[in-house]
Structure formats: structure tokens, C-alpha cells
Structure 1
């Protein structure tokens, strides 16, 4: 009997044996560079089958995957290298290749274009090649989540914590071997990796897309008979406004999952009205990938769902830190086996917890029936398309511009992206600020999602005597204006 395909990419399909063979070959090449238990391996790749095999290869060696966004610029990659100290690199990014070449201590890099899963002889492994036994409590993956005080932190997930997250996601979405999904979200983001790992765990069939293209995604729902679609706000908005949506056969879809940002009801309702497909809102974070999910047979657009089995949740007062009554507003805190092991740098971990509870930084309420509503952020993070942006990181770049005397970065509500980045800038005496040039300056140095959507000129940045920026005041003054 021919082994069934589990993954499709462009015009090719791959079986588990194809992925296993490729993973074994990558593992063998990494072992030749002395990569072993506990070592960290940088992985900076586009969405492709070799990415899946590379993750499996690193784990088979007992090593740790350091996920780097393919949209990162050199300064971001250098920061990640300095924080995680990988001993090897795998990927297809020229920025990664430049960073590897620029390290003081040489770091070997395996380019994914050299691999061809499924082709005979492309990933041959010598006989007798064995893998070590992996400790479930050891680190498995590092993903990056910005803090409010500076450059991105690395979130440490063990094999046990990430495995628990996969189990939670599989159960929440009720995925089975009969399901067919497609993945357009970046694999370096926790949601992208979680979707891939969960599809493999559930025995579902999945299609990877190199990048998001609405027309391609919709046509493949028809062609591949996709049963579960994953969406973030920009994808949902694109679907809602697609001119020919009614002419497509989307009858295979059981539901569309909405994640990363709270649901925009008008957009979700438009899609359901035009297609008949319901939504399943869900809620998670890099630190704890699956917190809550709506039931697949009756989701609500005004809630991110209920806590999934295996996740404890409480809401505490923003003033006292004490638990509040059902329906009252406060910070959402969680406990779970799927919770991260901590951050790098390690000294950032303590502030993320209180009495063993992880502080999500999200403000909301939980009613007596367990329905969760997210209303705000207690932290200063800006969440753009599910990616976290630290104002301090963007400000550090802006301060390097010769025409900028002072600056502050804040977030404003954005229908498509959840939030958008806005930069308030005070020019140096006699200097002229060109907003487009300032935005381009940031874009050259940081990932595209960290780029300000607009720049507002202010005579001074409002601050407390301590120097802390009054971001709320900036949001009130400039959050809804178009002045520059």
C-alpha cells in the first residue's frame, strides 16, 4: 500500500517517510558539526517542507531550535545570536548567512536549498547512525517575544511544555486524521509552529504556503477540500472584502479559527454571511500557546472562549493583585503544563510571574460561565498581526536618527492588524523631519511589522519626573488624528 501524503507544498506532496528521511539527513549533517544535546541551532526559514524537517532534526539530536523570523534585519539577528549563542544555523535567509559569517567564532550553516525531501539519495544517512534519548524537561524551542523595556526576549519551551500545548490545540480544534488544513502564517511565530506540529500529531493533511496570497489560499480551499482554515485579522479582512467570495465552493470548511488578536465582529459576520462558514475565536501567547478557545459547534464573537482543559485561569485586580469576582475587570493570569520554562535573559523571568501564576499582561474579565473577554493590555506591548512590538526597541532605532531629539512609540487600534505602531518625534533644533524618510529609516533596521504606520511631530515628549513616557497621553492626543 502506498503511504499517504501528509504535507503539500506548491505542486508536490510529501509522506512522513519523506520528512523523516530529510530530518535524518539534516541531523547527520549537524552531528558532523558536533551539534548535540542541549546545543542551540538557529533556524531562519520561509514556510517550506525543509523547515518541518529541520525542526525534527534538531530535536532528534536533543538540541534546541532557536526560531528567527525570516523578516528580521541584521541587527535583530545579531541580537538573537548574542542572547542564545547558537552553535550552528539552518535556513534559507541571506541575512542569516551574513550574520553567521560575521560571528567572532565561526558558526556552520546548512542552507535548506541544498535539501530536496523525497528525492532518492538526497539525504542519505550512514548505517548505525543513532539518536540520543531526549529529556522531556529539556529545552526544545526558543521563540522571541519582545518585552516592554527593550530588545526581544527568548521564550523557552521544553519538550514537555510544547507537547502539552500541541495536545491542548489538537483537542480544542478537534483535529483528526480526516482534517485538511493550510498554513500561511510564518513558521517562526508560535502559532505557525503550533499549527504544523499539531497537524502532524493529529495525522491531519496540511498544505504549506511560501507566503500569504489571498487568491491562492481561497483557491486551495476549493481544490484541496480544506476543512479547517487558520486566520489572523488581516487574512480575515481580506476574505471579507474578496469580490468573488460567493462564487467559491468553501463547503468543505468546518470553521475558520481567528487568533492573535481579538475578533472584529463586523468582519467575521460578513464572512459568515457570504459563505456560511462559522468562526472559532481562540486565545494564546508565545509564553503559553493555548489559553482559551471557543467550542467548535457554537463559537461566540464577543469572547475568546473558555480556558481549555489543562489551563487554570484567574483575574486579579490591577490595583491590589487580589482575585476579583466573576465579570469584574483585571489582569488575566494563568497556570498550565504548557507554560514556558522562562525567558532569556533569565533575569526577565521573575517579573513575568506572581505566586506561580503567569501574568499575561492582558486586561479583561471572566463571567460565571467561564467566558473570557479581553479588553486591554496592562503592558505597553503593541500587538501587530499577532506579533509583539516593544516600543523601546523602535525608540532605540529612532534615537539613532540625526534629526530626532526625542521620541516615543505607542500603539493605536487598527481594524486590519489589531494595532498599528505610531511614532511621536521631537526634531532637533533647526532640523526638518520627513515622515516617509523616518519610516524608511526604521524599516531598514527592523522587521516590517515594527515599522511605524505614521509619524506625528510633537514639541516635546510627555514624561513623568522619573522619565517614564506618558504613552496614554500620546494615544489620547494623536491616536485618532492624521496629522504628521
Structure 2
């Protein structure tokens, strides 16, 4: 019999689940997957919207000693095909037609019969989950996290948030993204209560902070902007919140301060990556918006000269490197792993400095990634699509500042007249919506070094200069 005294752990709409409920569903799904051949060391593709069945699938895959390959539900055929060819999962679970078209899939809406499925013993060094992080050379790379590294990340995040069973969270970010995944797994591991939402909606978010007495809420830049711009913000009771966490992009101080002035709720900032989920976090409750905080317990951060690798002193800008148990085991393709580490230190590719008290400031990005609403976008991935258009002779994609992070701009040279909106539509048809350029510029030439390397900085400066002269906003919001 179910222990009705056990507290609820997860909510979705009107549905509520205890951990025992999730485990019973996970056992049933694990039995079904085992019957289909899934076992220890198998890889299982998971492509799901944010829903309780995603959590059940993760727990079922772990119960079998297998590894979950997490695909973004926003991806389209080309992105899914690339991810599957890279990771080669033999089985699939989800609710997205694009995955079902690519391989046989257990649909999350299929009814499951109750069944027992004892957990397999797991090797801490075996892969537990594979997430994706775009590289500057094109399509996303798979990031391999073992049971040990994922457990360390959960431990670090729980400590950074000071999470206890008394806390109540809600998650609106995609579950395939490392932030959404970490929030879900950490909350359930800590005994905290969590509400999942299928998508972000600012009114739903505010209503549930009040109704569910949420104590910690996560906000990427678009959520923070929506909070600051909401005309009825003061009408909602947000007094249950211990703090709001700004994640995934640098803090826009004016936006954060506007929310605090209107609600009295303070912000906390943190820093992490798909490859190393928890690096730094601000001290609680005295958080500062001008830094991403100090290294969490168990994590070591240093700043080195980008050319020589020599550690630098306080206040000096250099490449940020991190050593932690939560660091990824490596990439797929494996050939990309070696350059990601330097003598055991993960090379973030970010530029910043540490002050005398250990507070980290990020001042630049050494890599060419474009940060769009918390997602990393590789310019080369969009360029590959544009190059496929018959009218495009050459192209380069770059980012410019925008209220919610960065906006994507594509510069193209063409052999014949073409509507820029038609080129945007080509990208939108092939790639996830957040990878769609906000605009396409027709230019005479793409500036390059003699080696052929695109001078994105030159293009960015030209575009921002043109915007400044016209009085416009380079990073104007789009409906991407």
C-alpha cells in the first residue's frame, strides 16, 4: 500500500506525485524498456516536453543502469539526426514526432502495466546522462556526465542554493538543458517540492509563486525581462520567495534592480556550463550583482594567461579554468575532449578575473558562441544552412547585445537578389527557433584573415556602429 503520509514531491497541473509514485511508474517503464532490450550501458534517447513522464523516464533509465541522451524538444530533423549519429542510442523514449520518425520510440503517453524492476548496480564511472553543448565548429557536441559527476553537480547545487526539504521550486526551462535537468534532479534528491510547467508563461509563474508559496525561482534573461515589464507585478504576493536566481546569461543590473524595487525580492547569481554545471554562486543572503560569486565548496577556479597558461594574480584578466568532481567525462566526438582540459583543469573559454576575496567577474567570451535566451548557438551551424541556399556565396553569423542576452545577425554575400526574410525562413525551417537570425544583412564581402578565418569582431563593430548612427537598437527583440 502507498504511504499516504509521505509528502508530495512533484506537481504538474492538477496532478501530484509522491516519490513512491514516481518510483512505481519508473519501475513499470523500466520493465517495458528491459523487455525491448535496454540494459546496463545502453544509451536511450529522450526527447520530451517538460512533464512528469520525463522525470519517470530518467529514473527508469537510471534503474536499468543505462545512459539518457537528452535531445531538445525544440530541435528539428537535422539536429536530431546529428545528435543520434553522434551518440548512437539503440532505444528512444519521448513525446516528439521528429524522434519517432528517426527511430522506434516508446511514447510517454503509452499506458504502462505495473511491474517490479529491481535497480541495477551502477558503476560511478559509467555514463549517466549526455547533454549537448554547441561548439564553434558547427553542430552540437555531446557532453558525457557519469553517475559520479552528476552526483557531484547535484551536491554542489544543493549546497549553493542552501536547498532543504522545506523549499518549493517551479521549473519552466527545458528539461534537456543542463539547468532544467539540474533543478529537477537536485530538488527531488533534496526532498524539496517542485512544480513543472510545460512552457514559460509569466502570469502562470507569478500565480504559482503565490498559490504554491514558492521559495526559490529560476530566471534566465527573458523571464527577468518579463518580470520587470509586467504591469501587474505588485499585485502578486511574492513574499514566500527567499530569492530569485539569475541563470545562464550575465545579469542586466537595471532589470534586476527594477524587479527588486517593485517586489522586495533579492537576486542571486551563479555560473556554470553544460560541461561543468556548478562553478560559482553568490553568497546568501548578501548576493552581489557585479560578480557571479565565489567557487562553491568542492570546486576550484583559477585565471590563467590565455597564451602561456600561467596562473594570474587578483584582478588580472585571463581565461577562467575550473577543476571539479562535477566536470564532464568528455565529449563526443572524443577528439574534441583533449583541448577542453589543461592538466585536469576545464577550460571554460570565458575571460574574467578573480578579486582578492575570490569573487569571479566574467568580462568577455574567448569563444565565438552566441548566447540567446540562455542557449549557446554556434555561428557555424547557422552558416552551414545559409551556405546551402543557391543565392548565398559567402556568409558569417555573429551576435550583438540584446535585452535578453544576444541577438543573432547574419551577413551574406549573394549572387542574385534575394529577400533577407527568405533566408531567415530557411534557417527557421531547418533549426530550432532560438537559432533563427533576428536579421540578415546583404554585404559586399565577408572580412577574413589570410587564413580564411572570419573577422566576426569587425562585422559586429560595423553593425553596432550603424545602429548607433541610426539611433536604433542592435539587439531589438524579435519573435525568434
TM bucket (normalised to shorter chain) is over 0.9
Select 1:275's aligned residue among 263, 269, 276. Answer: 263
User: Is the contact between residue 240 and residue 270 of structure 1 (CA under 8 Å) also seen in structure 2?
Assistant: yes
- What SS does structure 2 have at the residue aligned with 1:114? coil
Moved more, 1-10 or 296-305: 1-10
Matches within 5 A, 1:115-154: 115=111, 122-125=112-115, 129-154=117-142
- State the Cα deviation string for residues 268-313 of structure 1 (Å, max 9, x = none): 0000000000001000000000000001211001011001011111
What is the CA-CA distance between 1:15 and the residue it aligns to?
A: 0.9
Structure 1: any 5+ residue segments left out of the alignment? Answer: 101-107, 116-121
Match of 1:426?
413
- State the Cα deviation string for residues 334-362 of structure 1 (Å, max 9, x = none): 00000000000000001111122111011
Matches within 5 A, 1:65-464: 65-100=68-103, 108-115=104-111, 122-125=112-115, 129-416=117-404, 418-428=405-415, 431-464=416-449
User: Is the contact between residue 161 and residue 339 of structure 1 (CA under 8 Å) also seen in structure 2?
Assistant: yes
User: Is the contact between residue 305 and residue 372 of structure 1 (CA under 8 Å) also seen in structure 2?
Assistant: yes
TM-score (norm 2): 0.95
Match of 1:119?
none
What is the CA-CA distance between 1:321 and the residue it aligns to?
A: 2.2
Match of 1:479?
464
> Is 1:55 paired with 2:58?
yes
Cα distance in 2, alignment partners of residues 296 and 54 from structure 1: 34
What is the CA-CA distance between 1:143 and the residue it aligns to?
A: 0.3
- What SS does structure 1 have at the residue aligned with 2:176? coil
Structure 2: any 5+ residue segments left out of the alignment? Answer: 475-480
- State the Cα deviation string for residues 30-49 of structure 1 (Å, max 9, x = none): 10111111110000000000
Cα distance in 2, alignment partners of residues 200 and 272 from structure 1: 28
- What SS does structure 2 have at the residue aligned with 1:321? coil
User: Is the contact between residue 269 and residue 287 of structure 2 (CA under 8 Å) also seen in structure 1?
Assistant: yes
Match of 2:21?
18
TM-score (norm 1): 0.95
What is the CA-CA distance between 1:91 and the residue it aligns to?
A: 0.4
User: Is the contact between residue 255 and residue 296 of structure 1 (CA under 8 Å) also seen in structure 2?
Assistant: no
Cα distance in 2, alignment partners of residues 480 and 189 from structure 1: 34
- What SS does structure 1 have at the residue aligned with 2:237? coil
Equivalenced residues, count: 466
Select 2:31's aligned residue among 21, 28, 31. Answer: 28
- State the Cα deviation string for residues 245-284 of structure 1 (Å, max 9, x = none): 1111110000000010010000000000000000010000
CA RMSD of aligned residues (A): 1.2
Moved more, 432-441 or 187-196: 432-441
What is the CA-CA distance between 1:480 and the residue it aligns to?
A: 5.2
User: Is the contact between residue 27 and residue 118 of structure 2 (CA under 8 Å) also seen in structure 1?
Assistant: no
User: Is the contact between residue 326 and residue 368 of structure 1 (CA under 8 Å) also seen in structure 2?
Assistant: yes
User: Is the contact between residue 294 and residue 360 of structure 2 (CA under 8 Å) also seen in structure 1?
Assistant: yes
User: Is the contact between residue 9 and residue 17 of structure 2 (CA under 8 Å) also seen in structure 1?
Assistant: yes
Match of 1:8?
11
What is the CA-CA distance between 1:18 and the residue it aligns to?
A: 1.2
Select 1:468's aligned residue among 440, 453, 467. Answer: 453
User: Is the contact between residue 141 and residue 157 of structure 1 (CA under 8 Å) also seen in structure 2?
Assistant: yes
